[in-house]
Amino acid sequence: MPEMMMKTFFSALVVAVVGHLIADAIVATPAYAESLDKNVVAMHAKLDEQCRGGSRDDPATQLSCDARLNFEQTLAQIGYCYGSGDRAHATWHKCQ
């Protein structure tokens, strides 16, 4: 599959999954919504690992980096912030 098609497909898949998670969270109980939030955080962590650990010339690495950015935007939209006093140990957490 050509790289552009893979990238478009993967981006569409990420948008669909994230959209579904957000829709579920909107109508869910608080506990269920928190569980969904944690899943989005966990997916971001996995994509971050793949993005940082992959070869720069591997299309799969670029897809992981692009998807990671989508998850970062989603986390911000659902009220999460990244950071802490110690930048080396920064994490995603509910904004205050």
* pLDDT tens digits in sequence order for the chain, 96 residues long: 566 666 666 666 666 566 656 655 555 566 666 777 788 888 889 989 999 998 889 988 999 899 999 889 888 888 888 887 666 678 888 888
Look at the chain and report how many structural domains it folds into. Answer: 1
Distance, CA of 1 to CA of 79 (rounded, Å): 36
pTM of the predicted model over 0.85: no
Q: Which domain covers residue 75, as residue numbers?
A: 3-94
Q: Per the structure block, which two tokens stand in for 22? A: 């957000």
Residue with tokens 């996995």: 46
pLDDT of residue 6: 63
